[in-house]
Structure 1
Amino acid sequence: MLHNYSDYEEKNKYETDVLVIGTGAGGAVAGAELAAAGNDVLFVEEGAYHAPSTFNPYLTESIARLTREGSTTIIHGKVPIPYVEGRCVGGGTVINGGMTWRTPERILARWEKSTGSKELGPAGMEPLFERVEARVHAKKHMPQSVGDHNRVMVGGAQKQGWKYMTNERNQHLCVGTNNCVMGCPTGAKQSTLVSYMPDAMKAGARCITQVRITSLIIKKGRCVGAKGQAINPKTMRPDKQVEIRANAVVVACGAVQTPHLLLRHKLGRPSKLLGKNFTCHPNVKCLAFYPFDVRGWQGVNQYAQIREFHDEGIILAENMIAPAAISAHLPHHGARGWELMKRYNQMVLSGGLVEDSTTGQIKRGPFDMAVPHYDITPYDHERCVKTGKLLAQMHFDLGADFVVTPFINLPIAHSMDEINTIDPSTYPMRMLELMTVHLMGSVSMGSDPKKSVIDLDGQMWDLPGCFVADASVFPSAIGVNPQITIFAMATRIAWRLAEQLPTLRQAA
């Protein structure tokens, strides 16, 4: 059963064994595992269902359909950081680049030490990684899906003598359309839309879409369901009521929306950490213009990552996107912007990820809005500036004519001499352009209720029956693309919930 707005009455009531809020990397995986174990599962998704055949490279259509608030969301702080959240069946897995890097062993070792649980260490997580990688076909690409813009980054790493690694991605027979971040039109990218959600539905799960959950139902100190509102797709306003009763609830709305929902009920009291410990992997971008065609629209979104500086928490990679998305971030518009866009075939977009050394916080704002706040530290700021300079250096050494930089007072540079005027130790924070798509932490897992929000099973310390299964459970930033870690953690939490369901049924 898959319902959308047109299927609802003015008031709607559902009953289920397990309610899963969200269908992204966490919710879809947890729900599929629970359904496969024979449990009655009902998914609730705020966005709509869109078939892969409807995905296209047209920015204004795609972001309105597939992302929250048309990707206009901002993390507030000393340096405003735009971020993107998926809002559709499949969530962020529909609009990501599809990288499937495992959590680094040094991070897992830290988690094992901080929680005292070997299950979160390298050995404990290994079988979970193997399971989810097999399900989403995590593997290297076929040669025919690699484009010239992918080869530019590899060539740059080789020329600099930098270590690089080719990606494994959740894909099956990828043909390199490079529409990954606006939905894979062939279905080759194994987002949860085409993998875990079909698995769950085949196992008997149900899914209601275009419904925003606004509160949990709490009875005698236990979570026994949720209430929400159906969103009218024409007006984008809620005008129908939805109530779901369940024996257990899995909240998997992501590291911004999950704490936002839980904070409504003033949860997380033992540690007072709900919404805190938020991390986001600040990103910088560098757009290079070459004197020859590279046709960035051919080939995968990202083929390799430069890991030369990973010990410093820095990863470099290419990530070419559609023309409209490029044009929106150019430093010029009008005639000058058009002159730049006419060279789209000669562009290579690259970026750098910086592993956080600090944390932020998610707060509840007016009009039922989540408000992320994050102040970048001087140390992280210096690494972000260094990342921008490294990218520019690589492109100039490869023969780029000029680069669009992340430095606001130097929007276009024609040589490294210009770039070298930027001093990482003195460059003003607000003159650096950042963005992110990796949102983590905020409902951290742990073994001590005074130092974490959920226990090692994923259950809220102060709300039995309420589990969390998304990137918000990470005890810390991980320094790599988080998708496969979310899959693995959601699998583990689903298994723990399945073990507890008989007891939860009796208590509900």
Structure 2
Amino acid sequence: MKRESHFVLRGRRRDQSSKDTNGLSSAEMESLESICEAVLPPLSPQSDSDEHVDIFWQSSASQSSVPHQVAEILVKRAIIEALILIRVILWMLATRLGTLLLCGSLCITDTWPFINNFSNISLEKREKIVQKWLQHRFLTPIRLAFLYIKVLCVWVFFSQVDENGENPTWKAIGYDVSAEEKKASSFENKERPLDKGMVEAMYETNSSLPLSLSQKGLKVVTDAKSNVLRIKCDAVVIGSGCGGGVAAAVLASSGLKVLVLEKGNYFTAMDYSSLEGPSMDELYESGGTMASVDGNMAILAGSTVGGGSAINWSASIRTPEYVLKEWAEKHKLSMFWGSEYVSAMDLVCERIGVTDKCSMEGLQNQALRKGCENLGLQVDYVPRNSSKHHHCGFCNYGCRQGDKQGTQTTWLVDAVNHGAVILTGCKAERFVLQNNEGRKYGRKKKCLGVMAKSLRNHIKWRVQVEATVTISAAGALLTPPLMISSGLKNKNIGKNLHLHPVLMAWGYFPDSVSDLQGKCYEGGIITSVHKVLSGDSKVRAIVETPALGPGAFASLFPWVSGQGFKETMLKYSRTVHFITIIKDKGSGEVKKEGRVRYHLDEDDKENLKAGLKQALRILIGAGAIEVGTHQSNGQRIKCGGTSENDVKEFLDSIYVAGGPLSLQEKWTLCSSAHQMGSCRMGVSEEGSAVDEKGQSWEAARLFVCDASLLPTAIGVNPMITIQSTAYCIAKRITESLRME
């Protein structure tokens, strides 16, 4: 049965009067609106502006529904400490005494009542206050609160759409998604390839869900008294991304009845809209707003059928040989050194259609290639799981062209063709463990399955899946909390979290002076890569290109002033970004869902600095007229007519400091789109969370099969590594079951 598309909702307009729905008081909202206005203030149009640019200059983030949507996101998704901090500050700013404490003399006037609260201070002075907050070394809590508000304010302002899928700023900044709409028209009547195995909770009721699952070949028993829906199968896989999709396919093809639990929803090419705001909200963990507890790291992770493979940037790079050697020799994991793993990589690349060339590159990759060639640096093509003609710059919102081969169009199709069932909108809560009498399989406990719940309010069943084997493939951010909440005690669970921290450099290439073609959001997201080498030819970092819609661009770009920020956004379409990625030696932890702790190692900071400097050199070499970093003080330099000494001095000023909570006037926010290692595999319980077969050291028949298995960071885009590792682990599981 063809389902009505539930994704291409064109956004919504909010009435400003609906203040009782976002959780903040009217006084807090007044302060929030005043801060939003200071971030993006209404300004006089420039004399040479066109109509759309004039409207943009005059617009303000305090207008329309922006502050109310910011408040909703804060209440719904901010970690509790951040929400409390922000609400306290907003409340203080609504009072005269609180404003005096936080804003100093700028709130004092010569007329009664002599002290203004924040919203009654002039816009010019409010901007000065915000600038003071950002520059002060010891006002870090206020700095963090402002950063949260700034990020959400500009995110909503530039990504929200009306019922027609439009944003009034896009024409001014040169952003257009209409071409993607036309490309996707051919998919309107195509079949959804997973329908034969799909049960979508959003379309089910309490009474229909058991029947739908039974019709897919599962054994289902209802216990109305305890409100439990019991499902029996051979294997349950939690998560459907790079790890879970592969595991489900391998297990199902071996003859096992497999159930995949996925908390996200199922979409196909015809469902995607390429609209940044709605897409991020539906396809990403926490709607793309996730961050580390201290606010130093912005984190992106997929949350949909296909997981990260549905929204990643297509890069399909094999595990570097030096990484495999490290895992085999230092970590004693024989799986990674020999034909088994290499054959798995070959098979994975074939199944997801990896190609090595690109027939046409977009603006950002043109700049990377040209800059490297002009400087005599090596630049390589990036293999992608798509055709060489794939020119989609919106794959991070789901590929509307249907060219990118994520697990939802490959491995999961193989799985359902062999009888697997996928239940969406269903979140695993804990594993069902019991004492393992006689320590069969050498473990204290044995896993009997998993307890889960529907994320749809109209389904009241508690779901209990009883399975011979249970496989957690929820990803490096969610597998550890799930294991810990189930009562597992291994000290390595949740530790050793690697994030591939990313810093960005940017360069402005106006049409009038550059021969590079296109706009920054057009073309394949990553088609070229440069390796930054040390003196002994070891890779210190890699330089690639990111996908940045207007909302993401604005969120990450440093704010120095309202006018300066608007000027930056007007250059959006021809501003090229490079990312520098490192193989981080330092690590963090995630013990509880949504609470990531991470600190950069000193060596990591030096490698990030080396990568960032090289990225800037390449941008200058490609012909940028201005380049800069995302350092909080708006660090940048004009390139035209600049002397070599000035450029050298600028590059020497590059440094990598902590994020907004560091006690420094200048700081840089890092990002992460790759998370791994938090349940790493190993040869002993003392140094790892699971064994060489991916099985928990504490609970028999409980396996991990996702990026959390990886012993260390790998330093390159990890999709091929995750899928190849999952393939090997899943094969070992089927072999062990066959031998019993």
Length-normalised TM-score, structure 2: 0.64
Q: 1:339 Cα shift?
A: 3.5
Contact 1:181–1:321 (CA<8 Å) still a contact in 2? no
Contact 1:15–1:244 (CA<8 Å) still a contact in 2? yes
| Other structure's SS at 2:590 match | strand
Q: How does 1:443-454 map to 2 (within 5 A)?
A: 443-454=679-690
The answer to which of 123-132 and 284-293 deviates more is: 284-293
Q: How does 1:234-249 map to 2 (within 5 A)?
A: 239-249=460-470
Unaligned segments of structure 1, at least 5 residues: none
Measured against aligned partners, the alpha-carbon deviations of 1:293-321 in whole angstroms (never above 9, x if no partner) come to 53223310011100142724200012243
Percent of matched pairs sharing the same residue? 26
Measured against aligned partners, the alpha-carbon deviations of 1:39-64 in whole angstroms (never above 9, x if no partner) come to 10000001011112222321110011
Contact 1:301–1:321 (CA<8 Å) still a contact in 2? no
AA matched with 2:204: D
Unaligned segments of structure 2, at least 5 residues: 1-196, 207-226, 436-444, 512-516, 660-666
The answer to which of 482-491 and 49-58 deviates more is: 49-58
How many equivalent residue pairs?
A: 493
AA matched with 2:716: V
| Other structure's SS at 1:277 match | coil
**Using the alignment, how far apart are the partners of 1:52 and 1:457 within structure 2?**
35
**Using the alignment, how far apart are the partners of 2:460 and 2:394 within structure 1?**
34
Measured against aligned partners, the alpha-carbon deviations of 1:183-240 in whole angstroms (never above 9, x if no partner) come to 11111111111111111111110010011111111133211110111112xx7x9854
- The answer to whether 1:396 aligns with 2:620 is yes
| Other structure's SS at 2:634 match | coil
Contact 2:558–2:634 (CA<8 Å) still a contact in 1? no
Q: How does 1:324-335 map to 2 (within 5 A)?
A: 324-332=551-559
Structure 1 or 2: more strand by fraction:
1
Match of 1:359 in 2: 587
Match of 1:102 in 2: 318
AA matched with 1:325: A
**Using the alignment, how far apart are the partners of 2:271 and 2:647 within structure 1?**
44
Q: 1:419 to 1:20 in 2, by over 3 A?
A: farther
Flag the structure with more relative contact order, 1 or 2, with Cα contacts below 8 A and sequence separation at least 6: 1
**Using the alignment, how far apart are the partners of 2:408 and 2:267 within structure 1?**
9
Q: 1:37 to 1:200 in 2, by over 3 A?
A: same
Match of 1:193 in 2: 408
| Other structure's SS at 2:350 match | helix
Match of 1:206 in 2: 421
Q: 1:439 Cα shift?
A: 0.3
**Using the alignment, how far apart are the partners of 2:575 and 2:461 within structure 1?**
47
**Using the alignment, how far apart are the partners of 1:299 and 1:312 within structure 2?**
27
Contact 1:445–1:473 (CA<8 Å) still a contact in 2? yes
**Using the alignment, how far apart are the partners of 2:468 and 2:739 within structure 1?**
9
Q: 1:33 Cα shift?
A: 0.8
Measured against aligned partners, the alpha-carbon deviations of 1:446-493 in whole angstroms (never above 9, x if no partner) come to 122222111111111111000000010011111111100000010011
- The answer to whether 1:259 aligns with 2:480 is yes
Q: 1:374 Cα shift?
A: 1.2
- The answer to whether 1:250 aligns with 2:471 is yes
AA matched with 2:735: E
**Using the alignment, how far apart are the partners of 1:186 and 1:425 within structure 2?**
40
Name which one, 1 or 2, has greater alpha-carbon Rg.
2
| Other structure's SS at 2:577 match | strand
- The answer to whether 1:3 aligns with 2:199 is yes
Q: How does 1:135-174 map to 2 (within 5 A)?
A: 135-144=351-360, 146-172=361-387, 174=389
| Other structure's SS at 2:589 match | strand
- The answer to whether 1:65 aligns with 2:301 is no
AA matched with 1:358: G
Contact 1:173–1:188 (CA<8 Å) still a contact in 2? no
TM-align CA RMSD = 2.3
Q: 1:43 to 1:117 in 2, by over 3 A?
A: same
Q: 1:80 Cα shift?
A: 1.0
Measured against aligned partners, the alpha-carbon deviations of 1:345-397 in whole angstroms (never above 9, x if no partner) come to 32212111011121211122xxxx34221111222112223322222222123
- The answer to whether 1:323 aligns with 2:540 is no
AA matched with 1:130: D
Length-normalised TM-score, structure 1: 0.91
Q: 1:142 Cα shift?
A: 4.1
**Using the alignment, how far apart are the partners of 1:432 and 1:184 within structure 2?**
31
Partner of residue 297 from structure 2, selected from 73, 81, 87:
81
Match of 2:506 in 1: 287
Structure 1 or 2: more helix by fraction:
2
**Using the alignment, how far apart are the partners of 1:287 and 1:183 within structure 2?**
25
Partner of residue 464 from structure 1, selected from 700, 724, 733:
700
Q: 1:424 to 1:377 in 2, by over 3 A?
A: farther
Contact 1:178–1:321 (CA<8 Å) still a contact in 2? no
Contact 2:371–2:620 (CA<8 Å) still a contact in 1? no
Measured against aligned partners, the alpha-carbon deviations of 1:82-135 in whole angstroms (never above 9, x if no partner) come to 111110000011111111111111111111113434321154421111110110
**Using the alignment, how far apart are the partners of 1:309 and 1:240 within structure 2?**
55
**Using the alignment, how far apart are the partners of 1:70 and 1:267 within structure 2?**
29
Contact 1:23–1:45 (CA<8 Å) still a contact in 2? yes
Match of 2:596 in 1: 372
Q: 1:308 to 1:123 in 2, by over 3 A?
A: farther
**Using the alignment, how far apart are the partners of 1:285 and 1:183 within structure 2?**
23
| Other structure's SS at 1:224 match | strand
**Using the alignment, how far apart are the partners of 1:426 and 1:171 within structure 2?**
37
**Using the alignment, how far apart are the partners of 2:338 and 2:292 within structure 1?**
32
- The answer to whether 1:494 aligns with 2:494 is no
Partner of residue 239 from structure 2, selected from 22, 47, 72:
22
**Using the alignment, how far apart are the partners of 2:479 and 2:651 within structure 1?**
39
**Using the alignment, how far apart are the partners of 1:452 and 1:428 within structure 2?**
31
| Other structure's SS at 1:52 match | coil
Q: 1:8 Cα shift?
A: 4.5
Q: 1:173 to 1:156 in 2, by over 3 A?
A: closer
Contact 2:362–2:522 (CA<8 Å) still a contact in 1? yes
AA matched with 1:500: S
Q: 1:173 Cα shift?
A: 6.0
AA matched with 1:378: E
**Using the alignment, how far apart are the partners of 2:231 and 2:673 within structure 1?**
33
Match of 1:429 in 2: 658
Contact 1:27–1:252 (CA<8 Å) still a contact in 2? yes
